[in-house]
Amino acid sequence: MDATEKEGGARRPAHPLITVAKAQRAEDALAGLERWKARHPEAAGRLAVDDVLVDSMRGRSSTWTRVRVNLRHVPESERPAEEAPDPDYDPWRAPNTRSSS
């Protein structure tokens, strides 16, 4: 069985990644990362530079930013549970700003 698969064929992440922020603007997503670090200082102190993944994602007509944290350097017993992202922007749920006229 492949390292990324579990029984039933569902994909299992190879690394312990958690999403900490999703925002329309990169600045807001990075502010969410700083709030996560303040809530979890022990885990944040173990992160390497390449453990913070900042992704520009494509929405309907614009981009948005997702910040994920790889907890590979944090012992499993000390890893914080995944929380709802802060902020938690969803481009697919965003209200339509186009006029219907």
Say which residue, 101 or 52, is predicted with more confidence: 52
Domain that holds residue 54: 17-73
Number of domains in the chain: 1
Is 30 inside a domain boundary?
yes
DSSP reduced 3-state for 82: coil
Give the pLDDT confidence of 55-101 residue by residue, as tens digits: 999 977 889 999 999 999 999 999 999 999 999 998 887 555 554 44
Q: What is the pTM of this model?
A: 0.78
Whether the Cβ atoms of residue 82 and residue 43 lie closer than 8 Å to each other: no
Query: Which pLDDT value is given to residue 10?
Result: 66
Type and span of the H or E element at 64: strand 63-70
Give the mean pLDDT of the chain: 86
Is 98 inside a domain boundary?
no
